[in-house]
Chain A
Amino acid sequence: MTAVSHSFFICSQQKELTSKKRDEFEDILEERRLSSDLRYAMKCYTPVIYKGLSPCKPNAIKSAVLQSEQVQYVIKQLAKEMGESPDIIQEEAMEILDEMGHSMQLGAVRFFAFTLSKIFKQLFQRVCVNEEGMQRLQHAIQEHPVVLLPSHRSYVDFLMLSYLLYTYDLALPVIAAGIDFLGMKIVGELLRRAGAFFMRRSFGGNRLYWAVFSEYVKTMLRSGYAPIEFFLEGTRSRTAKTLTPKFGLLSIVMEPFLKREVFDTYLVPISISYERILEESLYAYELLGVPKPKESTSGLLKARRILSDNFGTIHIYVGQPVSLRTLASGRINRCPYNLVPRHLPQKPSEDIQEFVSDVAYKMELLQIENMVLSPWVLVAAILLQNLPAMDFELLIEKTLWLKGLTQTFGGFIEWPDNLCARKAVLSGLTLHANIARLVDGHVVLNDKGLEDGAVGEIVFKRALAILMCATYRNQLLNVFVRPSLVAVALQMTRSFRKEEVYSCFSFLRDVFSDEFIFFPGISLKDFEEGCFLLTKCDAIQTSQQEIYPTDKGSVIVSFLSAMFKPFVEGYQLIFRYLSKETKEAFTEKQLIPGVRNFVFQLLEKGNTQCYEALSSDMQKNALAALVQLGAVKKKKIVETLLWDPATKFLNSLAGCFCLPLPFGFQSFSQGFDKQREQSCLFLIEGLLCVLE
């Protein structure tokens, strides 16, 4: 009960916040459209910096890193183990540093300030920033070392963020970038001078690299040299759905505080929302397995033509800086840090790992909370449930309905008070004319390639359009996921008993743990929140023991479960493929084309409508879920990761999903714990119900 009243309090606050949030936004391009970009680029730039900072050059940092006890220790260790001279290894460390290190220069920054002004004005109508967030950031930067944690949807993210900090006269961040940028000759160097430093994609086994890299980051953080920026998601989300966090860099930036080398560290979640994502079609191709073009300068130049296109508005919400000290208070056992010299590399204890993971999820949830949703996101969600075509008037009506629902669930929609629904939908359609258009009073997906293409061609085009459209619907999912999984669980269990519904909810939450962002270990709280939100929009009523949909609620419940249907069905297809089509261990490289072909054939034959199962993102997430559930095991054989299906379990699981009930039940009950078995049974029944 307290949980409910608590969330109610939050929700009533949310309304106020929502309108406040809207007021806060300022368009930074407005000023750019009025005054000289050149003067702007050459302005006197005296940024606000950390109070304890003793200014130093990028090269001084590099040599401090090289001379640090941490790096020297590893060098000596390696020298001893490999029987090499420490000088040679030191040389190697120097090379790593040169490859990685940024060399921020004001000149390069000014160059970017100028060119990006030009480019951004071309591409975007507005770039809106919450001013209050910038002020909070300004205070934070002076007080403690700051880590900027933006969401990652586009390459524009980090350019935009640096541009923003320059505009507001704040210290420019140093940015962890993938090493692949260095492949782009001039651009790589230019980014380096604008503050990017480069990390290899995988260096788990390389102790020297790890030591140099982590010390490099920590040295900059400890000295408050500059805000450190990286992406928790690790890479651009191709689906616009927040990716599950990566922990490596986060644990590096948390370490100086945990070892008390700094008093505190601020983590600043930043939500960057695009009305239209620059890379939208690239992503769709990529998800369908058409390889992503390598970053190259010429590729970038080719991308010039997009300059003539319109990408709408960007919203950047700089969240409240979160004090790591406050997060850690009372959680951390001090002993591991007190009993070992601080410069020795030390594997984080389990409770530290858990803490890092909790912090990562918390920050991502904060990012999600402050994402700005455009009306088009609502349109996309509705459209995907009404393919191939939908009556325009109905669409408007539905959009308005969904707007209300989204707001009830705490989503923040950028929808000016006086804007009528028709206009909102129309402007979305205009901006996204490549995805859908209005034909004879109906809105249809742009899924026709050449009219006379082969069946395969048609399926591909259609998949492309659906995936692009899904990119926008996806922006709603993390706001909707808790009430929706309750709705799905209600349909699956066909029971009103709270306990059963919860048990199914909890299973779904586990299965989709890589698909959506859930704070670890609070299944019950999530369930309660889902129930609370459904109650709030009158979709269900609850008593002590039971949950029932209201008469009016069935519309909401079925809309919500339909929204998540592609995931339920998609996972089902993938599980089926794994249990039927694979016999031995496989690599990810084998799996993905395998599933893709499997689903493709089903689509061609018309045996399924689940185009989203073609998405490599979903395939990877499903695989990760199976690993977590123990249905598939990960093995490492000579540098290659293999996944080994625990055939029996997998068979049962897939069986549960796909085959008539008795078989699934039988094989399933042989050897899995009761609870999981039950949860799976819910899933089977539910799936059958959804599939009807």
Chain B
Amino acid sequence: MLFLQFLGFGFFDFPKYILNPNASEQELLKWNGWGYNDSKFIFNKKGQAEFTGKRYRLGGMVLPTFKEWIEKTFGASLEHKTTSRASLNVNDVPPSIVNEEFLQDLRATKISYSQDAEDRVFRAHGHCLHEIFVLREGMFKRIPDIVVWPVCHEDVVKIVELACKHNLCIIPFGGGTSVSSALECPEEEKRTIVSLDTSQMNRILWIDEKNLTACVEAGIVGQDLEKQLAESGFCTGHEPDSMEFSSLGGWVATRASGMKKNIYGNIEDLVIHIKMVTPRGIVEKNCQVPRMSTGPDIHHFIMGSEGTLGVVTEVTIKIRPVPEYQKYGSVVFPNFERGVACLREVAKQRCAPASIRLVDNAQFQFGHALKPQVASIFTSFLDGLKKFYITKFKGFDPNILCVATLLFEGDREKVLQHEKQVYDIATKFGGLAAGEDNGQRGYMLTFVIAYIRDLGLDYYVIGESFETSVPWDRVLDLCRNVKERIVRECKEKGVQFAPLSTCRVTQTYDAGACVYFYFAFNYRGISDPIHVYEQIERAAREEILANGGSLSHHHGVGKLRKRWMKESISDVGLGMLRSVKEYVDPNNIFGNKNLL
């Protein structure tokens, strides 16, 4: 579960569906990296970077400046390559230990299951760097013993009952895009671990056009949900960067956030009703109303519970008519400070478009390096002219300027009005409109960028992204300090080339913003790169907390960030969560050890 909008460099994971009996969907996805098998960055025979496949707009295009950027940024060289092993070595995989009585009971339910090594390894991890590294070069110490595929709520009830009866451990699995070590099996778990794959629970049960809600099974993947709703003219508007692969249940379990939350809201704003199966029984409400005052909202025990309490099976979610009109946009600012000030003003006036993001200079250059070869002399001439206008005529320093990308949605007329309002504000902060195309490219890169980590891994470059939320007045200090901390930690830990340490502001709120960091470095000459990497990431998180940022905005805690939970929510707060866990799941059936 856990979808997480990860980014960074590559990743996200796989599986959309993993149907053991007919595993066609599973086969579409990489076993040891992010996304679809046919989509990846490669260096072609001429040594130029190219993105393969036809799924993305960038597919089949040559990226002439990308190689140079990689070499310049990381000191990496194409001559130094490290390759992943080609396929899973089944002999390394820990054996499946399942007691026969349980298997008999399971067979009686007719729920499909698998003890196949590949199926189990596939569900033993999310997309943290160390997990991908293990896939490429090692093996997990503990993986699920068996995978089950319930197809409906009742199946899940049966599985949870069996698990209680036989004292097994269940780890729910949705899209597998976690970046918080949430899917890793606790090494010390002695019971049989059942991976409960929700991918076959993927139907829209009903659509209620009067109330604009839809009841959906929790295993549905983001892009399928939107596609199917669109057939009836609706959407949820919930678009985390991982939406191609992450699932509805995962969103609920991690308190997900979508790119267009300014219009549609985050998952907690979208959810009307949740049905969850726990060892104590089923938890749900008696009605589907917009709000109720019946003590603390039980949905808030469920959202963010990260698979520790039970399995979300069905969710009633708000839907909206598909917007009539969409328009991208972009603004160039002379520097990051001005850009942040502009975003702050936009938030203050509460006129944020569906999405507004601000990337710092390093990321602007990164995006620039991913520009495909231009088709005609004319375009290239136009590009040159634009560049001249911005840097020479307007005096922007190409090594300091930064860019905001925008996405407007709604009625055509309102969108145009809205657009003008936002551009007027931007002008006050020295911003220059930089065209729709740049904006659109920016959002397309959101999906493609995840593939880059796999390329980096081939050339001794490792990287990751992480996020936080922070009050407005601390945004600049936090961005500067965290980036600086990363650079320093790399130096101290013996990293020989300056790392890529960059950030962007991805969401605006009334009281603050969500900030994303990307961090990657060339690890040649370091014997234990993963350990070094983890130390640096930890230092960066310490820095975030010291700067008044949160432990996580939407990636969740998992096992990766547990150590800071007490500091984050106080002893008493932690005790409150623990007591819920103790009541709902006294025997720790949902034993993935996340969060608490």
| Residues of chain A at the chain B interface (Cβ within 8 Å) | 260-261, 263, 334, 337-338, 341-342
Q: Are B484 and A263 in contact (CB under 8 A)?
A: yes
Given contacts A334-B545, A337-B548, are A260 and B481 in contact (CB under 8 A)?
Answer: yes
A261–B548 alpha-carbon span in the complex (Å): 11
Quick check: is B477 within 8 A (CB to CB) of the other chain? yes
A656–B485 alpha-carbon span in the complex (Å): 57
Given contacts A337-B548, A341-B473, A342-B473, are A260 and B484 in contact (CB under 8 A)?
Answer: no
| Closest beta carbon of chain B to A193's beta carbon, Å | 32
The digit string for B224-247, where 1 denotes a CB below 8 A from any CB of A, is: 000000000000000000000000
Smallest CB-CB A-B distances: 9 pairs: A338-B548, A260-B547, A263-B484, A263-B481, A334-B546, A260-B477, A260-B481, A261-B477, A260-B546
- Please name all residues of chain A whose beta carbon is closer than 8 Å to the beta carbon of B480 when the two chains form the complex: 263
Quick check: is B478 within 8 A (CB to CB) of the other chain? yes
- Please name all residues of chain A whose beta carbon is closer than 8 Å to the beta carbon of B478 when the two chains form the complex: 260
12 residue pairs of the A-B complex, CB under 8 angstroms, read A260-B477, A260-B481, A260-B548, A261-B477, A263-B480, A263-B481, A263-B485, A334-B548, A334-B567, A337-B548, A338-B548, A341-B473
Quick check: is B348 within 8 A (CB to CB) of the other chain? no
A36–B334 alpha-carbon span in the complex (Å): 46
A330 to B, closest residue via Cβ: B542
A551–B547 alpha-carbon span in the complex (Å): 60
Quick check: is B474 within 8 A (CB to CB) of the other chain? yes
The digit string for B352-391, where 1 denotes a CB below 8 A from any CB of A, is: 0000000000000000000000000000000000000000
A263–B477 alpha-carbon span in the complex (Å): 8
A163–B117 alpha-carbon span in the complex (Å): 75
A342–B546 alpha-carbon span in the complex (Å): 13
A337–B545 alpha-carbon span in the complex (Å): 11
A681–B484 alpha-carbon span in the complex (Å): 57
A341–B474 alpha-carbon span in the complex (Å): 10
| Closest beta carbon of chain A to B574's beta carbon, Å | 15
A342–B477 alpha-carbon span in the complex (Å): 12
A690–B409 alpha-carbon span in the complex (Å): 90
| Closest beta carbon of chain B to A645's beta carbon, Å | 46
A337–B547 alpha-carbon span in the complex (Å): 9
A338–B546 alpha-carbon span in the complex (Å): 8
- Please name all residues of chain A whose beta carbon is closer than 8 Å to the beta carbon of B567 when the two chains form the complex: 334
Q: How many residues of B contact A (CB 8 A)?
A: 13
A338–B478 alpha-carbon span in the complex (Å): 12
A342–B547 alpha-carbon span in the complex (Å): 11
The digit string for B476-491, where 1 denotes a CB below 8 A from any CB of A, is: 0110110011000000
A258 to B, closest residue via Cβ: B546
A537–B481 alpha-carbon span in the complex (Å): 49
A577–B478 alpha-carbon span in the complex (Å): 58
A629–B135 alpha-carbon span in the complex (Å): 66
- Please name all residues of chain B whose beta carbon is closer than 8 Å to the beta carbon of A338 when the two chains form the complex: 548
The digit string for B510-546, where 1 denotes a CB below 8 A from any CB of A, is: 0000000000000000000000000000000000011
- Please name all residues of chain B whose beta carbon is closer than 8 Å to the beta carbon of A341 when the two chains form the complex: 473
B547 to A, closest residue via Cβ: A260
A263–B481 alpha-carbon span in the complex (Å): 5
| Closest beta carbon of chain A to B433's beta carbon, Å | 26
B543 to A, closest residue via Cβ: A260
A339 to B, closest residue via Cβ: B548
A532–B464 alpha-carbon span in the complex (Å): 51
A363–B589 alpha-carbon span in the complex (Å): 56
Q: Please report which residues of chain B, range 441-494, place their CB below 8 angstroms from some CB of chain A when the two chains form the complex.
A: 473-474, 477-478, 480-481, 484-485
Q: Please report which residues of chain B, range 86-138, place their CB below 8 angstroms from some CB of chain A when the two chains form the complex.
A: none
- Please name all residues of chain B whose beta carbon is closer than 8 Å to the beta carbon of A260 when the two chains form the complex: 474, 477-478, 481, 546-548
- Please name all residues of chain A whose beta carbon is closer than 8 Å to the beta carbon of B547 when the two chains form the complex: 260
A338–B567 alpha-carbon span in the complex (Å): 12
| Closest beta carbon of chain B to A326's beta carbon, Å | 11
Q: Which of B485, B545, B547 has the most CB of A within 10 A?
A: B547
- Please name all residues of chain A whose beta carbon is closer than 8 Å to the beta carbon of B545 when the two chains form the complex: 334
A309–B480 alpha-carbon span in the complex (Å): 54
- Please name all residues of chain B whose beta carbon is closer than 8 Å to the beta carbon of A263 when the two chains form the complex: 480-481, 484-485
- Please name all residues of chain A whose beta carbon is closer than 8 Å to the beta carbon of B546 when the two chains form the complex: 260, 334
A98–B545 alpha-carbon span in the complex (Å): 39
| Closest beta carbon of chain A to B341's beta carbon, Å | 15
A218–B481 alpha-carbon span in the complex (Å): 18
| Closest beta carbon of chain A to B548's beta carbon, Å | 4
Known: A260-B474, A260-B546. 9 other contacts (CB 8 A): A260-B481, A260-B547, A260-B548, A263-B480, A334-B546, A338-B548, A341-B473, A342-B473, A342-B474
| Closest beta carbon of chain A to B566's beta carbon, Å | 12
A338–B548 alpha-carbon span in the complex (Å): 5
A337–B481 alpha-carbon span in the complex (Å): 16
Q: Which of A260, A261, A334, A341 has the most CB of B within 10 A?
A: A260
A79–B546 alpha-carbon span in the complex (Å): 34
B548 to A, closest residue via Cβ: A338
| Closest beta carbon of chain A to B472's beta carbon, Å | 11
| Closest beta carbon of chain B to A67's beta carbon, Å | 15
Q: Which of A263, A337, A341, A342 has the most CB of B within 10 A?
A: A263
A261–B484 alpha-carbon span in the complex (Å): 13
- Please name all residues of chain B whose beta carbon is closer than 8 Å to the beta carbon of A261 when the two chains form the complex: 477
A427–B547 alpha-carbon span in the complex (Å): 57
B470 to A, closest residue via Cβ: A338
| Closest beta carbon of chain B to A457's beta carbon, Å | 64
| Closest beta carbon of chain A to B124's beta carbon, Å | 35
Q: Which of B473, B477, B480, B545 has the most CB of A within 10 A?
A: B477
Q: Which of B481, B485, B545, B567 has the most CB of A within 10 A?
A: B481
The digit string for B554-572, where 1 denotes a CB below 8 A from any CB of A, is: 0000000000000100000
A13–B307 alpha-carbon span in the complex (Å): 57
A342–B471 alpha-carbon span in the complex (Å): 11
| Closest beta carbon of chain B to A670's beta carbon, Å | 45
A261–B474 alpha-carbon span in the complex (Å): 8
A379–B77 alpha-carbon span in the complex (Å): 67
A520–B211 alpha-carbon span in the complex (Å): 68
A334–B478 alpha-carbon span in the complex (Å): 14
A334 to B, closest residue via Cβ: B546
| Closest beta carbon of chain B to A161's beta carbon, Å | 29
- Please name all residues of chain A whose beta carbon is closer than 8 Å to the beta carbon of B473 when the two chains form the complex: 341-342
B481 to A, closest residue via Cβ: A263
A260–B547 alpha-carbon span in the complex (Å): 6
A261–B477 alpha-carbon span in the complex (Å): 6
The digit string for B148-164, where 1 denotes a CB below 8 A from any CB of A, is: 00000000000000000
